A and B are shown apart, each in its own frame.
Chain A
Amino acid sequence: MVHIARNWIGGYDTATCPCCPQLFVRPLENPTVTSFSESAATALQLITAMDAGLLAIVGRSLAVSASACAMACALGLVLGAWLGVARFAGRGAVLTLLNTFLAVPSVVVGLVIYLLLSRTGPLGYLGWLFSFKAMVLAQAVLVLPIVTALTCQAVEDAQSLHGEQLQSLGARPLTRSLLLAWDERYALLTVLIASFGRAVSEVGAVMIVGGNIDGFTRVMTTAIALETSKGDLPLALGLGLILLGVVLLLNGVVALLRRWRERLESDAGSHAPGTAPVAARAADALTPGACA
């Protein structure tokens, strides 16, 4: 009997059948797989000890996702705001396409970017494949529809409320869209966080275009996938906990920022109509596919 690989699943091995080439799973005689609690304890040790390898992966992961979000937001906020205000033939089709891209699988994005950046692809001359830049590009493409569609939704709602008044004052569509986007800035802040969350948590696109190269393109999600398949649960779990912590921290910061701004704006007066629904409208704006 030939062992193909060791698998972590509850102390089982995969093995080939002695009489046929078929793979099967069998229990290990002396399972070495650690339990969840042991893995979690080791993971916490890695985190508290500020393990250099762990920190490098976390730092790279945050840098890739932050760069991708910055790129996507620079384009998506303006484009989404404009789409929320502009009226042109074919707008419905553009929005339908945009909403379709909200659900595009990250592996498909990874595959398309891979084909574009591969040596024979149209962008092959850049030499970006299996690099930091390729991962940023893939994640930016992945979150661009999210930023654009949600911004479009928020601005379109604001346009239906205040659009005619701004038009009456003389604001042209682009000016109107930017003013309305500014007016909906709290909702859009939530959009930024949602897009960062999507970027930092995806695995398919960065795995394909980054190649998960240790020390170069290994990020949290690809490392979790690899370590899990290797059976190194503590590192995988440690990275998972950090990933959760990062998203939790970001949400906390945004909530604090919003509360601080609202308190600053409210002065000593009571809340008048128009202030309270901000959070509700932000939540509405985050309904995927709602911009129609």
Chain B
Amino acid sequence: MNGFDPGCAAPALRPVFELSGASVHFGRAASPVRALSEVTLSVARGERVALVGSNGCGKSTLLRLLHKLAAPSAGQITVDPALRQAMLFQKPHLLRLTVQANIALGLWLRGTPWGQAKALALSALARVGLSELAQRNARQLSGGQQQRVAMARAWALQPQVLLLDEPTASLDPHAKREVEALIDEFASGTHAMTLVFASHNLGQVKRLASRVIYLEQGRVLADLPVQDFFGGPLLQQQYPAAHLFVKGELV
């Protein structure tokens, strides 16, 4: 056992996020940039949701909204306040500290005493197979190693919901596989973790997601189980824009 318990007090399929007509606008009120427009959806506990769409379609904004890094300009968002969330960004964003201190910092910021946080950081590092790098400067690691440290930092927080914004976009294929395997491993632990991730890699979406949400110009155009999104006539018949996107990606 790893010593961490992500917790599962909530009953199965209880929504962890509910958005009702949520919109996010940036810039001046007179000519706002509409990053998200009237998005209505809910995410149930244990779901693995992939957000796909072209650049600038609103995937990152939706993730930031779910993680309370952005506030809705209109509409409503309901997030279980007792929910432990963690977010992983495209870049790992490690500070100029040791690897262990970077992981411990996340725990310390959420109220864990520093000594205990350092001990838990070592456990988390062992989980991602980087124990030997605990005392190295985090900025000296390779991109793949840094992202694994960021994974360990997120996992150490025992999140019930893990949000990922293109976490493997800047990695080489080998590092990509390693990080993807870790995400899969964390999400399918003893207690199902809710996973919401943005990705341009449709192969990764197929491997990790149970549900796919296709966004275009800030609107949700398709919201389907993964098997319907990638196979069968449903996508082509009902969501031609999403079908073209998938076709383009596969070509």
Interface, chain A (partner B; CB < 8 A): 161-162, 164-171, 175, 179, 182-183, 185, 265-267, 269, 271-275
Is residue B89 contacting chain A, with contact meaning CB distance below 8 A? yes
Given contacts A175-B109, A272-B142, A273-B143, contact A165 B136 (CB under 8 A): no
CA distance A189 to B168 in the complex (A): 35
CA distance A170 to B136 in the complex (A): 24
CA distance A177 to B245 in the complex (A): 41
Q: Using a Cβ–Cβ cut-off of 8 Å, how many residues does chain B contribute to the interface with A?
A: 24
A275 touches B109 (CB 8 A): no
A168 touches B140 (CB 8 A): no
Given contacts A164-B69, A273-B143, contact A266 B109 (CB under 8 A): no
CA distance A262 to B116 in the complex (A): 28
B139 touches A162 (CB 8 A): no
The 7 closest A-B pairs by CB, nearest first: A165-B93, A274-B139, A265-B137, A170-B109, A169-B106, A168-B87, A162-B93
Contacts of A267 in B (CB 8 A): 136-137, 140
CA distance A183 to B93 in the complex (A): 11
Interface of A (DSSP majority class):
helix
8 Å CB contact of B86 from A168, A273, A274: A168
CA distance A169 to B101 in the complex (A): 14
Contacts of B136 in A (CB 8 A): 267, 269
In the complex, residue of chain A having the shortest beta-carbon distance to the beta carbon of B138: A274
Name the interface residues of B141-197: CB closer than 8 Å to any CB of A. 141-143, 146, 153, 157
Residue among B137, B140, B143, B146 with most chain A CB within 10 A:
B140
Given contacts A164-B69, A169-B110, contact A269 B140 (CB under 8 A): yes
Q: How far is the CB of A233 from chain B (nearest CB, A)?
A: 48
- Extra pairs beyond A164-B69, A265-B140, A269-B140 (14, CB < 8 Å): A162-B93, A165-B87, A165-B93, A168-B89, A169-B153, A183-B97, A265-B96, A265-B137, A266-B137, A267-B136, A267-B137, A272-B139, A272-B141, A274-B139
Contacts of A266 in B (CB 8 A): 137, 140
B93 touches A271 (CB 8 A): no
Contacts of A170 in B (CB 8 A): 106, 109-110
